A and B are shown apart, each in its own frame.
Chain A
Amino acid sequence: MAGLAAKFGSGAMTNSVAEIETAKALLVIGSNTTENHPIIALRMKEAVRKGAKLIVADPRKIPLTKFATLWLRHKPGTDSVLLNAMMNVILAEGLEDKNFINERTEGFAEFADSLKEFTPEMAEPITGVPAEDIRKAARIYAEAENAGIYYAMGITQHVMGTNNVHAVGNLAMLTGNLGKPGAGVNPLRGQNNVQGACDMGSLPNVYPGYQKVDSPEVQKKFEAAWGKPLSSKIGLPASLMTEAMIEGKLKGMYIFGENPALSDPNTHHAVKGFESLEFLVVQDIFNTETTDLADVVLPSASFAEKTGTFTCSERRIQKVRPAIASPGEAREDLAVISEIYQRLNGEAVTVPDPEAVFAEVASLWPGISGVSYERLEEESLQWPCPSADHPGTPYLFKEMFPREGGKAQFTVVPRVISSELPDTEYPYLLTTGRELFHYHTGTMTRRSTGLDAVAPTAFIEINPADALKLGIADGDQVNVSSRRGTIKLPTRVSEIVPPEVVFIPFHYKEASANKLTSDALDPICKIMEAKVCAVRIEK
């Protein structure tokens, strides 16, 4: 979320899910919302029923296109060009919000200049979207009284992910769709507590509440709070750790509640990394591809067995309460982590109290200093919530942006090309994602009889035209190979994917899409390009 943070000073959904119903226009790009955020999608459908115009930009004919006023089927990896072209139209037709631009943004002149080349006609061959549709989309979005943008990994998991996020932000700024209900820039978080993990400082560059590790006064503040000297050196992002392991710079790793050996793009490489470690600790509720590589595996409690809080996409902090006891000797992650912490610190081991831990966070991050377990018993709160009597914040940036000068920053977004595009050797463009009936690496959903019954196997979606070309019938087993690996799985011949593009869900370990995907990195936020790579298909 580095992109948004840079522009607005904060990286999270600017608005609330409930507000979606009030939007007059919606732009959903790089998000298969009905399958990945089903309940947020309900609000989108509600908005459409209430008369909102819905623009869906997605290479795949995702279910939401059924409800769309306009569906832009752009080629994978061309999001920012599409968005730039929309903005080109907005300026050309004078649809921008001049007041907002003057009063609440900076860097417009240079930015506007950069858009000149991105005419719809220039974008058409690149994106595959007819120029006229780009114009339509621009008008629908810009003319709406309030319009929200909703996106997910389809925007970020690219080498130009940060650019895409900037482009999205630019579009909202250009039309003044920030700081009011039913508008904004809204990244939909893929996992239950992605927002929380970021908020809590599980990032190499910031402490809890996005306080920078390389800022001396922040460092002082936390040294005081934790009573230990702290490093001001920005740490390694996950995506660089693999390389560091292989190079032997990283010797020991502690992983909990994740399964990177299956979810990382180019898993061969990732596995190689873990294998070259001197010591690997993995903490999880099941054996996974990652625990298989561990030296120590620690059994932990599921969400139904622990006390704590989750923070969902819309910055809403909510209680998690235990319903049952953990099986066997499994323990709450908090207890385990805290014991290791205390013993490394040479302190006496005590049983941690989640409420006390949360209070400690609240004391260190002004953004939630008004939030307490006491309040969370009664309600759920959206940060910022600076004081005990503060009702929480449904949408951000009403008055100002939390940056020096309080203004939002326009960013020039040049055209970047995906690191690996189809060629004669690997003629198909593979994009990956989730399906409704499974979640992430399937460790949970594939253990649910019903879900496993409706979605038992991996598959590769391929357009009828291509199937015909390759002489493949629906259900045929095929070998799919990229420069990084090969997997075997059945085909699903479907018009959901356009010609020359194929799709594989990454839930299935027996045919792991991430054996194929590329780990090329976005230069700024170091995200891996999971959404675009080139593959070959053989019968």
Chain B
Amino acid sequence: MNREITVNVCMGTGGIAAGGEQVMKALKQEFEAAGIKNAKIMENCKLHKVGCRGFCARDVLVDVTIDGETSTYQYIEEKMVKRLVQDHVVGGKPITEWLVGDDYHTFHEKQTKIVLHDLGKIDPESIDEYLGVDGYKAAQKVVAEMTPEEVIKTIKDSGLRGRGGGGFPAGVKWAFCAANESDQRYIICNADEGDPGAFMDRSVIEGNPHAVIEGMIIGAYAIGSSLGYVYIRAEYPLAVDRLHTALNAARERGYLGEKLFGTDFNFDIKVKLGAGAFVCGEETALIASIEGERGMPRAKPPFPANKGLWGKPTIINNVETFANVPPIINKGADWFASIGSEKSKGTKVIALTGKIRNTGLIEIPMGMTLKEIIYDIGGGIEGDKLFKAVQTGGPSGGCIPQQYIDLPVHYEGLQSVGSMMGSGGMVVLDETDCMVAIAKFFLTFTQEESCGKCVPCRIGTKRLLEILTRITEGEGRKGDIELLQQLAEDVRDSSLCGLGMSAPNPVISTIKYFRHEYEAHINQKKCPSKTCNKLLTFFIREHQCVGCGMCIRACAVNAITGEKKQPHHIDQDKCIKCGSCFDACKFNAVLKE
């Protein structure tokens, strides 16, 4: 009997973090141990390293395919591998209790995958596997058979909009750039994904780097550029490695470098590592950074499409945008335009995270409602908590409350409720999340990331944060809400770059939808979600306390006393309301109010 055995191990950052590498190692060992190595059946048995398939919550995910029969296991750990190989691979009996459930399948069925289509299927470190899924066909077609004008027209017709946040029509941007007289034009892939709670770009580059490269080749041909850059965060070591591997492979095959596909078209790509500055996601700051300067944004106009890198016309699109390009060329503008909503075509990759059952990377057709995303794909709220809001667009976005649960997710939809698509981060929040604290969290972030060049952002975000802080600490004053609103608007309207313009959004939107929480903090000095410790008192319910002493050990200021096996007690004068005891208690004996 000659069985074809394929074992897929999820090795995205999520997978690796959950122990993917150990699982891989164990698998190899167990295969050897099982003596499968000398047997003929090993001939076409492969151990795949696959990129993120999205369902990171269940890592480590392992597919075992025997003669086309695939079983997917979840939560696999090193110590489980032995039995997996013995029972399933050798014994041929799948271990049912470890298999994923139906929700795993609905999670995928509900999605429409263009960008993520091949993630999890192909080995990102093998160009041949990419070629196996029609890779570089689009680039070949474009370079060999189409004029730049035709390419730009196709992208225009497809209705593809920038996936980095602004949602500016990609084709139009390309046309602007191409229209400029210049000896050189540059094309830049923005992979400086900085939004907290977003990992779309990282996953795409880790899972299918060639798609991005191919998209850039097509863009370069369209605008007439011979040099491109990928600006990627140094904090993404795996993505950087796989990108380099892919670039080298592409060069070897003649898809990059001189005379691409045997034409006179030359194009190559350099990789620039970001050095840790969120603001460099802003295109002019990114350009400054590639030029080796402090990532301080430059005023627009003039726009990069006219005067960008080294003063030359420059296109900047993000990873997802470029990854959409090859399919559009292959399947046509109409096909792409047929997906999604009227103004927002195609799909959007979303990092679905937060207080939700199925966190992970998903791709939905533009226009799917929040409800479908959160409940059908996301499987609803974690634990038995109540949904409160969903934060989209990262630090530049806003919080969308319950009443908009049926809101279609596309550029216009999100904007209409004061949030934005951003790069596609979607953080679900439940009743235990304080919206003032959330606003404060984002302002802490933007304020730390402000480059300091322009006054409204440099000092304005600092002041916004200070006001939010005093509110969460019970020192909020009458009029603080109005002051926040005024300052937020002024910072939004007078800041130099996108960071400053959008930094106030979390404040504005939370005040808009959760004003009562602000008022509670300021007037009643209470945090309705019991998050802001300074506004809480911690005490121990005697009848529930078993006197285990965990809280005593957890308390940094020795505020807790009590004999073993006797109910403990918190001395409120000593308590600094850090919440350690609350976390430490295994018996819900610690109460906060």
Direct contact of A and B (CB under 8 A): no
- Interface residues of B, Cβ cutoff 8 Å to A: none
